[in-house]
């Protein structure tokens, strides 16, 4: 529930190529981009001249990532109508919060929208090698840890009723992040979003190969939108899988908002592209809710998605650039680890503790514990592992020539 998601240090300079900010969202205004010659409308890049200074990151996106992750956490902890993880129903224990948490799954689609924005931005002007190196460095180190942790907790931690056993082979297959196409059970159900993200990276590679630029990226968005409509009726399963019709509009909207950021004004083309994605979203929402088992109010879901569009529009137009709270980079840094570990670990400890500690104490304690654990994973696992993997994957001098 992805993208999703930028790696950020506490005080690390936020550049797209900085060691701890692989997806750092640049806060440069469109005017700054044009003055510096950072790119041209056709995707060409200036030759020679001094290096362009990096702009500060868009801190508000870090905060929005954490909000999305917490929404998904509350959905998994409180939205179920059965006895797991509370040994009683969450409806009885949290009647009001349960109704709100039912919509927490929308944090996933917000992740997808933010991912479209951030991936387009972080890939701008990069080679295919740099693009995929950045993706691997961003996603895999903490993911590998989460898979191993989820397996260990599932085998040796508290057990919930009817919980399937995770085999060593299943764990090893999950390390590839290709468990879904390989038809292998997920170590943690939240990993399904990572396969959606990978498909986005695969098809966006075509833009990176050709060279990022407004026209190429905009054309890509139109083609993907049309392809996502035609794929289900094409009779070509591979096309349907690759283009991800249910999720494509969210990524495309995020990309369009980044183009709006670069242009600095809402052009007719961008307005049309955003309108098309919104119309596709409202059409797809019933299928999305049915596929994920969310039989809840369509109007409320669409209102929430529309609010996401509004927030992203404010980000794209620079209206939230003044939000510079110091804790926001930390929020962005822990959002991905929190997303990966909160369910496999948190649900089991809710099941273990709630009858002893009480519902509210358990909910607050487990949530706080998961946030703290996510921070520790970021500091003690993700950052050093990423630095090591970066050194191991550094291009050789021959690759640079």
Residue 179 has pLDDT above 90, yes or no: yes
Percent over 70 (pLDDT), the chain? 83
Residue 167 CA: distances (Å) to CA of 106, 163, 171, 233: 31, 13, 6, 37
Distance CA 195, CA 211 (A): 25
- Min mean pLDDT across 239-248, 293-302, 322-331 is at 293-302
- Min mean pLDDT across 250-259, 298-307, 387-396 is at 387-396
- Please report the DSSP string for 212-255 in residue order: --HHHHHHHHHHHHHHHHHHHHHT-HHHHHHH-TTTHHHHHHHH
Binning pLDDT at 50, 70 and 90, where does residue 399 land? low
The whole-number pLDDT of residue 23 equals: 56
Residue 239 CA: distances (Å) to CA of 49, 156, 189, 307, 394: 43, 41, 24, 31, 33
**Can you give the pTM of this predicted structure?**
0.85
Average pLDDT score over the chain: 85
- Higher pLDDT among residues 57 and 46, named by residue: 57
The whole-number pLDDT of residue 52 equals: 39
Q: What is the pLDDT of residues 128-160, one digit of tens each?
A: 999 999 999 999 999 999 999 999 999 888 888
Binning pLDDT at 50, 70 and 90, where does residue 35 land? very low
159 preceded by cis ω (within 30°)?
A: no
Residue 16 has pLDDT above 60, yes or no: no
* Distant-in-sequence contacts of 350-356, Cβ < 8 A, 24+ apart: 350/77, 350/85, 350/86, 351/84, 351/85, 351/86, 351/87, 351/158, 351/160, 352/158, 354/85, 354/86, 354/87, 355/87
Q: At what angle do helices 298-316 and 248-263 cross, to 10 degrees?
A: 30
Pick from 281, 285, 132, 105: nearest CA to 206: 132
Q: For the residues 277-297, what does the mean pLDDT come to?
A: 85
Pick from 374, 347, 344: nearest CA to 363: 347
Residue 282 CA: distances (Å) to CA of 168, 222, 399: 41, 18, 46
- Min mean pLDDT across 149-163, 202-216, 260-274 is at 149-163
Q: For the residues 241-249, what does the mean pLDDT come to?
A: 95
């Amino acid at each position: 529930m992805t993208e999703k998601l930028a790696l950020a240090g506490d005080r690390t300079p936020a550049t797209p190529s900085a060691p701890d900010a692989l997806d750092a969202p640049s806060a440069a205004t469109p005017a700054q981009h044009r003055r510096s010659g950072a790119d041209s409308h056709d995707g060409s890049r200036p030759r020679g001249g001094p290096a362009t200074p990096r702009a500060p990151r868009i801190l508000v996106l870090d905060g929005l990532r954490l909000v999305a992750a917490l929404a998904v956490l509350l959905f998994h902890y409180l939205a179920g109508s059965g006895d797991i993880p509370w040994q009683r129903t969450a409806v009885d224990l949290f009647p009001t919060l349960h109704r709100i948490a039912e919509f927490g799954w929308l944090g996933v689609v917000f992740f997808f929208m933010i991912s479209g924005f951030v991936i387009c931005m972080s890939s701008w002007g990069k080679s295919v090698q740099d693009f995929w190196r950045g993706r691997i460095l961003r996603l895999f180190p903490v993911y590998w840890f989460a898979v191993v942790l989820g397996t260990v907790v599932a085998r040796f931690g508290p057990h919930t009723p009817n919980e399937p056993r995770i085999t060593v082979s299943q764990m090893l297959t999950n390390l590839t992040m290709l468990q879904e196409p390989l038809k292998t059970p997920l170590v943690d159900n939240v990993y399904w979003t990572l396969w959606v993200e990978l498909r986005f990276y695969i098809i966006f590679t075509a833009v990176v190969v050709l060279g990022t630029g407004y026209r190429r990226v905009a054309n890509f968005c139109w083609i993907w939108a049309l392809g996502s409509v035609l794929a289900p009726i094409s009779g070509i399963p591979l096309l349907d899988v690759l283009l991800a019709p249910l999720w494509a509009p969210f990524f495309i909207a995020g990309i369009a908002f980044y183009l709006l950021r670069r242009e600095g004004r809402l052009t007719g083309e961008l307005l049309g592209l955003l309108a098309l994605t919104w119309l596709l979203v409202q059409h797809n929402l019933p299928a999305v809710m049915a596929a994920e088992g969310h039989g809840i109010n369509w109007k409320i879901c669409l209102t929430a998605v529309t609010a996401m569009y509004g927030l992203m529009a404010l980000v794209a137009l620079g209206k939230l650039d003044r939000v510079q709270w110091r804790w926001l980079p930390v929020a962005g840094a822990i959002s991905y680890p929190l997303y990966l570990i909160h369910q496999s670990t948190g649900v089991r400890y809710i099941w273990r503790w709630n009858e002893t500690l009480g519902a509210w104490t358990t909910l607050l304690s487990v949530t706080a514990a998961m946030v703290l654990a996510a921070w520790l994973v970021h500091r003690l696992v993700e950052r050093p592992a990423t630095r090591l993997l970066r050194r191991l994957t550094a291009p050789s001098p021959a690759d640079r020539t």
